[in-house]
Amino acid sequence: MSDAKPSKSDKGKSGSRKKRRWMKWIAIAVLMALVLYGISQLALMFWMDSLPEDAPRIAFSVDDTWLVEFGIMTSSYEQAFARAGGRLVSFEFDEAGSPQVDLKRVEALLADRQIDGVLLSGGGDVDPKLYGGDPEKAEMVNRIRDDFEIALIQAAIERKLPILGICRGCQLLNVAFGGTLRNLRDDEDLKDAHFTFSGHGVNITEGSVLAEALAVTQLENVHSFHGQAIGRPGTGLRIVATGDEEVAEAIESDSDNEDGWIVAVQWHPEMALSDEIQNKLFSAFVDRARQARQRRTSFGGDSQNDISTSSTPHTEN
């Protein structure tokens, strides 16, 4: 048996082979991502083309984190809503003033663009200054976006439009109503359980609006990517779903009548387009938006109605 050790040239060749192999796998992964993105865009075009002219119009402000640069979040939201029969209408954060947001301008935007519902999508952390949290522990904060979306919530409620929050949107909605958030990153186990590609299960309160929309009280696995979660529920809101270690996974308004519909979840149902159960959430929301559209058009245009002050969100600055 030879005791000869590999020469430097042999080691160099081995390293080169490993590098080429890694480059090959990276190239394959990029190619697959591009193919999947192309397929998703074709699917989106199909669903968008199939939408009727009078499809409910859903306002949303686009995710401002690095994911938006790849079109990942926007495309998945658009496809999910198009399949449910709704048309997304994007808003820029500074359209109603910067750094101060003008509520009247937000109300005018909703009227001018004939909005029938509001989506609060994912993104960075909500500014801790809005709920007494620790600013040092927050990531990717955009206060202009926070203020704009809080004004959007206020305007939507005044116009009796349904609101759906997803991930960051769930957290912001709670803060807008005077609630607080907890930082899951303080606990390594909680962080790993709720910010993961593997996902986790969710238990839903029986009889809740969310349970009725999904027609189930348990989801075996949801896509979960959040470092914060609901702490104390805001006034008029209640926790209606929990995940690992009883972390809040959904909230909704205490009062659900024919005019009001406010539901928010911590997970990302738009990333589960093949899941018929999770897709029901978008369908339920779009149905409510369609009712709001019918009320609006039945008066020959936009109309604003009063709501009880108990449903008015918190406006702390």
The one catalytic residue in 167, 200, 223, 252 is 167
Please name the residue that has the structure tokens 């080429």: 20
Distance CA 85, CA 288 (A): 11
In the set 194, 249, 270, 314, the catalytic residue is 270
Looking at the DSSP bridge assignments, the partners of residue 117 are 58
Q: Is 167 a catalytic residue?
A: yes
Alpha-carbon distance of 190 to 185, in angstroms, equals: 7
Q: Alpha-carbon distance 238 to 78, whole Å?
A: 28
CA dist 205 and 216 (Å) reads 9
107 included as an active-site residue: no
- 3-class DSSP state of 29: helix
118, 288 contact by CB (below 8 A): no
Of the candidates 200, 223, 226, 268, the residue annotated as catalytic is: 268
Strands 163-166 and 87-91: unpaired
**How far is residue 73's CA from residue 285's CA, in Å, rounded to a whole number?**
19
Question: What residues are paired with 87 via a beta bridge?
Answer: 57
* Annotation says 170 is catalytic: no
Residue 23, token pair as written in the block: 């480059």
- Please identify every residue annotated as catalytic: 167, 268, 270
